[in-house]
Chains A and B, each alone.
Chain A
Amino acid sequence: MKHPDFDVLVIGGGHAGAEAADAAARLGARTALITLRRDAIGVMSCNPAIGGLGKGHLVREIDAMDGLMGCAADRAGIQFRLLNRRKGPAVQGPRAQADRQVYRETMQRLLGTRAGLDIVEGEVTDLIMHGDRVSGVELADGSQITAGAVVLTTGTFLRGVIHIGDERRPGGRMGDKPSVRLAERIDGFDLPLGRLKTGTPPRLDGRTIDWGALASQPGDDDPTLFSFLSQTPFLRQVACGITHTNERTHEIIRDNLGRSAMYGGHIDGVGPRYCPSIEDKVIRFADKTSHQIFLEPEGLNDSTVYPNGISTSLPQDVQAEYVHSIAGLENTRIVQPGYAIEYDYVDPRALTASLALKDVPGLFLAGQINGTTGYEEAAAQGLVAGLNAALSVQGREPALFTRTESYIGVMIDDLITRGVSEPYRMFTSRAEFRLSLRADNADQRLTPMAEALGCVGDDRRRVFNDKMDALTDARARLDAFSLTPKQVAAVGIRINADGQRRSGFDLLAFPDVGFADLRPLDPGLCDVPGPIAEQLERDALYANYIRRQHEDVAAMRRDEAQAIPDDFDYAGLSGLSNELKTKLSLVRPATLGQAGRVEGMTPAGLTLILAQLRRMERKTA
């Protein structure tokens, strides 16, 4: 067989595609990113913001793996806010409004300068098959590109339909054309598909908004950025406006419900409950007379404003009418109407933890096509798929992310084990080990893994190693103490006189004790840099809880270490209910841990699977 043109091909230049291509190239795979338009790489097609709760965690983790999203978001950030600033660090999530143009340009620059990565403009119309294996792509001009693995990150292109009122047209995001033949090829794989929908609000001309009449929300005074490599914002910082819908707005919407694509019966897909259209809000929460709208600027040199909170599939004239009923927007011009989009997704239970399709060798899927929503969820999957596509071509072991170590692992496991019933979005509540999986320690959790894989650049390696050295040093100083309550009381820290000796780290775990309180105990602590001291405070804060979770973590790791072969015969296992057999056969869990998370699984059932595994081992031994 002819040597393939590339190791890894990534189809699509959205958030998943960009991260996938970059990750594959960083692992040394010869990579090509194929996109319809080079200048559309890194486009933010929905709201101009990155991060948030759960999502900010994902961005930090991508950054810890030396991915792109955190750096690009920092470069483009025009308003940084750390959500839950007044709560504990485990549930703080960095978020930023981004200048869309700067974000896009940064992404294009970063990818353009990545060694080993080619960017190819073209429309992929088909996959080249070699037996049942995907071995490349065919472009609209008839040319072919061969590769060892292909990552498909084509968002909503599978039977994407855009709805504006009763108007509808086929399309991915606004302005993009769907590739019909490629969709037919994917149909031919007979993958389980489902249908979802999502919506966007009308975009407004910020020059026609009466800002003076509106409240505003500024960013944090002391901005928290995404990347562990960034210190301060790069761009001028701005505020968002806040306005509200009112009774009149709701009346207009109610009067025109029949003309909404969603309520007129034109849409079958399931939409996200956490991001309902304004139609949904007005109907489902009829007793609320007002809903909040954030007016988010799309850039420093862009007058477009994204009104977050009023996504819709009403016809254009109704959109104009209800927008004009809102305070501050009486004379506002709509730049682009809001629309709903319906699309097919591949049931992610057809994927492995590498995001490879179980039944189509050589093909990886990442992003919205797997039933997720959000830039961050897409980018994190892109990272996983890109790394694993490269590793598979290099004949190396897959890079697996686990629930005990990362939000990325939580998301992948949720997707491939539970599937989705609405567009999947990350929340911190999805992570059972939330107290350990924090945005602040994403580098401590993941950068060593990235280093072992070999996808970390020199800058990050240096910054990370310096930080770890400083942390280890300071931690050793804290652990070196062993003080009685009396000795502790001598420096003004009040604890119970229980006779227990405590280390500096133990003391730091008390809610009212900070690093500064410990300095009198060891003058050497004065040399510990501020960020390092803060990091230790955060580690200590949860130490007792994390210790208690230790057994759970260990049990989960043990179960994750027990692999189940892909061809395991559940049907022939007596003692399992038929319902459970069906579910297990569909999910085909890769480990005993994953099997345990299949809905309805019992401890006895797990023992049964384990017994069968042992039996199989002995027969082959």
Chain B
Amino acid sequence: METIYALATARGKAGLGVIRLSGPRACAAASVLCGSLPPVRQAGLRRLRDSDGNSLDDALVIWFQSGASFTGEEVAELHCHGSRAIISAVLRALSGIAGLRLAEPGEFTRRALENERLDLAQVEGLSDLIEAETEMQRRQALRVLEGAIGKRAETWRADLVRAAALLEATIDFVDEDVPVDVAPEVLDLLDRVRSELEREAAGVAVAERIRDGFEVAIVGAPNVGKSTLLNALAGREAAITSEHAGTTRDVIEVRMDLGGLPVTVLDTAGLREAGDAVEEIGIDRAKQRAGAADLRVFLLDETGSTVGLEPGPDDIVIRGKADLLADGSGVSGKTGQGIGDLVAQITARLEGRAARAATVTRERHRVAVIRALASIDAAWNQVSRGSESSELAAEDLRAAIRALDSLVGRVDVEHILDEIFASFCLGK
């Protein structure tokens, strides 16, 4: 049985973040981080350190013996401070320990079930929980596929399937009219995927792309102070990490750290009756982007109109240009009035949907990429040793593809056979 770990509490800024480990190496792994463990079932304050000795956090550590824990296995819990940076660092330190892997969604529950550790009421309540998890997985998968990484993941998948197909063709169809030496093409394909993955692993692309959890759109009639608000948000609360015109000339995206959450704020075209065809396109795009965003901030002018868009239950509706009002309500980018409140409202609502992205997903991808890289290296070495070891190369490649499952989608033997039959004329 492998030992698994994961953040057990909801992601997002919170007082505490509990990381749970379960399996035969739970205690061993926990003590790698915290030195000595407290007595069983007693909480103890410990300094967590990574393998280089750097301090990560002061955490309460507690552990349970197998047979007397939530999962029925040996369990250790690290009650850390709830900062995203700390949680990320601890998860990352755990990922470097041999015999440990990040838990699949629902895996703790699964183990508890297997070991008959849940009472009937808990079992009855599971389907709701799992329904939520299934939905979360689906949305995460969609997010990856639709995001900027999606297209590249597609090409990795195609390259890996092609490489596997070439290797398998020389194994399973050796008696047929297939190329004998596929090594050059396979090595090329592996090189290509490897260099891309190395870039991901180095953190550039993953950090920038996958973590952009939330989109917040500012919408409203023209000239209610949307752009001023955007600038104020960006200037006051965080550094602007990038700024560029969107796909339409009218949507401006600014990525920022808003109260600890990664957020992309969209400044959209003012909504009104379009004056010309080009503006109309801009307004359509604005509506489309605003509709797809996680949250909309409606800035109202004195008419109070939401300009043809219906605010959702979580959306924020607020008066703009508050500096022109006497009663102190609303928000003003110009004077900064109400901005602190607005940010608090935005982050509160987004954290409510915390399951949706970021830390765990990002960590999962990072671990996947690193595991895949190791397997690709192994496959590369086997291929370059010659066709005598092609079954070992194929095995390593299979491991690489499995590691990337969450990024490139499941690759089945049928996909590999499809590629073989499409490429080679078989049937002697």
Contact = CB atoms under 8 A, between A and B. Distances in A.
A275 B428 CA distance: 7
Contacts of A53: 171-175
Interface string B395-410: 1001100000000000
B426 A273 contact: yes
A551 interface: yes
Interface stretch (A204-212, A250-258, A429-437, A441-449): A429-437
Interface in B104-155: 104-107, 109-110, 113-114, 116, 118, 120, 123-124, 126-128, 130-131, 133-134, 137
B126 A84 contact: no
Contact of A575 (B131, B390, B395): B131
A600 to B, nearest CB: 9
A618 B137 CA distance: 29
Interface stretch (A179-187, A502-510, A607-615): A607-615
Contacts of B426: 273-276
B171 A608 contact: no
Contacts, number: 145
Interface stretch (A128-136, A286-294, A477-485): A286-294
A88 B392 contact: yes
B278 interface: no
B427 interface: yes
A87 interface: yes
Interface string A78-122: 000001101110110001000000000000000000000000000
Interface string A294-316: 10000000000000110100000
B416 interface: yes
Contacts of A293: 428
B413 to A, nearest CB: 5
B284 interface: no
Contacts of A575: 127-128, 130-131, 134
B174 A83 contact: yes
Contact of B127 (A427, A554, A573, A603): A573
Of A95, A276, A548, A604, the most chain B CB neighbours within 10 A belong to A604
Interface in A47-80: 52-54
A419 to B, nearest CB: 12
A308 B176 CA distance: 11
A275 B421 CA distance: 10
Contacts of B391: 87-88, 90-91, 434-435
A234 interface: no
Given A53-B174, A87-B387, A88-B392, A608 B425 contact: no
A79 to B, nearest CB: 13
A467 B98 CA distance: 38
Contacts of B116: 614
A193 B182 CA distance: 40
Contacts of B394: 429
B341 interface: no
B196 to A, nearest CB: 25
Of A95, A273, A284, A548, the most chain B CB neighbours within 10 A belong to A273
B134 A604 contact: yes
Given A273-B426, A614-B123, A603 B110 contact: yes
Given A52-B175, A84-B174, A274-B427, A607 B113 contact: yes
Contacts of A308: 428
B130 A276 contact: no
B187 interface: no
Contact of A611 (B2, B123, B171): B123
Interface string B367-398: 00000000000000000000111111011001
B106 A604 contact: yes
B168 interface: yes
A318 interface: no
Contacts of A573: 127
A602 B110 CA distance: 12
B417 A429 contact: yes
B123 A618 contact: yes
Interface in B279-324: none
A23 to B, nearest CB: 28
B208 interface: no
A143 interface: no
B191 interface: no
B278 to A, nearest CB: 42
A399 to B, nearest CB: 25
Nearest to B105: A604
B177 interface: yes
Interface string B152-180: 00000000000000001001111111000
A551 B177 contact: no
A272 to B, nearest CB: 8
Given A602-B137, A603-B106, A615-B120, A574 B427 contact: no
A272 B420 CA distance: 13
Nearest to B426: A274
B127 A574 contact: yes
Contact of A87 (B109, B118, B390): B390
A614 B113 contact: yes
Contact of A86 (B2, B109, B388, B398): B388
Contacts of A430: 413
Interface string A581-621: 00000000000000000000011111110111011001000
A341 B107 CA distance: 49
Given A281-B425, A554-B1, A610 B113 contact: yes
A545 B393 CA distance: 11
B258 to A, nearest CB: 30
Contacts of A548: 399
A607 B388 contact: no
Contact of A83 (B128, B175, B425): B175
Contacts of B173: 53, 274
A90 to B, nearest CB: 5
A392 interface: no
Nearest to A274: B426
Contact of B177 (A291, A429, A607, A618): A291
A558 B171 contact: no
Given A429-B416, A574-B127, A574-B131, A618 B120 contact: yes
A615 B114 contact: no
Contacts of B127: 573-575, 608, 611-612
Interface in A423-467: 427-430, 432, 434-435
Contacts of B171: 53, 84, 87, 91, 428-429
A281 B394 CA distance: 28
- List 6 A-B pairs, minimum CB-CB distance, nearest first: A575-B131, A273-B421, A285-B425, A275-B427, A611-B126, A427-B172
Interface of B: 1-2, 104-107, 109-110, 113-114, 116, 118, 120, 123-124, 126-128, 130-131, 133-134, 137, 168, 171-177, 387-392, 394-395, 398-399, 413, 416-417, 421, 425-428
Interface of A: 52-54, 83-84, 86-88, 90-91, 95, 272-276, 281, 284-285, 288, 291-294, 308-309, 311, 427-430, 432, 434-435, 511, 545, 548, 551, 554, 558, 573-577, 602-608, 610-612, 614-615, 618
11 contacts: A53-B173, A84-B174, A87-B387, A90-B391, A274-B421, A292-B177, A293-B428, A577-B134, A607-B130, A611-B109, A614-B116
Given A274-B426, A275-B426, 5 more contacts: A53-B173, A86-B387, A273-B421, A430-B413, A614-B116
